[in-house]
């Protein structure tokens, strides 16, 4: 009897691990008519590479969809919050790729306030039925660990988050132009990883 109970317990653990291994937050399929808005600071702008080598430009080619680049070098999250609403209303994107907060971290601003700004940006999108993918910024420590605020914000707002992409890119010397910015190969890696994230979460098909 004890052996039977143990077996049932192990089977239950297996099913929990198996069914929780896939994406938890799926995205609605994207269409070809509405654009995607890539919003952020220099990491979105493409600092360290030519404009046509930024991650939004390379992502657009990979998935054959319009990806609008609205990154501004040196921008703080509070400044981004002030300009996002007009962009959402003007372009009416179907998806917001949000990568912001690096300059808050570099200037040692209050990261809880940065997280509050991110939540406000996400709410602006969600109020307009725009899907959001959050791209985490790593700390500038030796391990380049993702800032915990991004995972917390994603869980609070029930959105998809890519935690490890920038940490991975900036940990490889051949993929960055300086300590905090990718080069064209790093932005290519960003585009490829985001495209795969969109596929794995149901936003685009394998053919995109």
pLDDT tens across 27-43, in order?
Answer: 999 999 999 999 999 99
Residues in the chain: 208
Position 38 in a domain: yes
Burial of 13 (0-12, 13-18, 19+ CB in 10 A): exposed
Position 5 in a domain: no
CATH number of the CATH domain containing 59? 3.40.50.1110
CA distances from 175 to 23, 78, 117 (A): 27, 29, 29
* Residue 82 pLDDT: 98
* Residue 140 pLDDT: 77
* Residue 145 pLDDT: 86
- The tally of domains found in the chain comes to 1
Position 23 in a domain: no
Instruction: Tell me the two tokens of residue 56.
Output: 């939004």
pLDDT tens by residue, 59-118: 999 999 999 999 999 999 999 999 999 999 999 999 999 999 999 999 999 999 999 999
Position 99 in a domain: yes
Percent of the chain at pLDDT exceeding 70: 87
H helix or E strand, kind and range, residue 118? helix 111-126
Q: Taking the CA of residue 63 as centre, how many other CA atoms within 13 Å lie in the half-sphere pointing to its CB?
A: 27
Interval 151-176 mean pLDDT:
95
Position 98 in a domain: yes
Mean pLDDT of the chain: 89
Instruction: Tell me the two tokens of residue 119.
Output: 């939540």
Domain carrying residue 146: 34-200
Burial of 139 (0-12, 13-18, 19+ CB in 10 A): middle
* Residue 18 pLDDT: 41
Q: For residue 80, which of 35, 44, 34 has the smallest C-alpha distance?
A: 44
Position 4 in a domain: no
Position 176 in a domain: yes
* Residue 17 pLDDT: 42
Q: Are 72 and 127 in contact (CB under 8 A)?
A: no
Using the predicted structure, report yes or no on whether residue 11 has a pLDDT greater than 60.
no
* Residue 91 pLDDT: 98
Q: Strand order of the sheet with strand 36-40?
A: 67-71, 36-40, 95-99, 131-135, 160-162
Position 109 in a domain: yes
Can you tell me the distance from the alpha carbon of 73 to that of 76, in angstroms, rounded to the nearest whole number?
Answer: 9
Handedness of CA 55, 59, 62, 66 (dihedral sign): negative
* Residue 207 pLDDT: 67
This prediction's pTM: 0.87
pLDDT tens by residue, 172-181: 999 999 988 9
């Amino acid at each position: 009897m004890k052996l039977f109970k143990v077996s049932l317990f192990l089977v239950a653990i297996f099913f929990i691990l198996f069914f929780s291994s896939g994406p938890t937050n799926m995205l609605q399929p994207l269409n070809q008519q509405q654009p995607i808005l890539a919003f952020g600071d220099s990491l979105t702008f493409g600092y360290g590479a030519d404009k046509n080598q930024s991650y939004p430009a390379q992502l657009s080619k990979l998935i054959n969809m319009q990806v609008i680049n609205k990154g501004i070098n040196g921008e703080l999250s509070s400044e981004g919050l002030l300009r996002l609403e007009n962009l959402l209303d003007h372009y009416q994107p179907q998806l917001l790729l949000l990568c912001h907060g690096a300059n808050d971290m570099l200037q040692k601003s209050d990261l809880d306030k940065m997280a509050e700004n991110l939540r406000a940006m996400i709410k602006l999108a969600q109020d307009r039925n725009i899907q959001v993918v959050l791209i985490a910024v790593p700390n500038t420590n030796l391990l380049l660990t993702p800032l915990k605020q991004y995972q917390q914000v994603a869980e609070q707002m029930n959105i998809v988050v890519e935690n490890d992409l920038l940490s991975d890119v900036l940990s490889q010397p051949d993929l960055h132009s300086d300590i905090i910015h990718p080069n064209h190969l790093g932005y290519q890696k960003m585009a490829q990883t985001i495209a795969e994230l969109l596929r794995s979460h149901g936003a685009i098909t394998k053919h995109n």
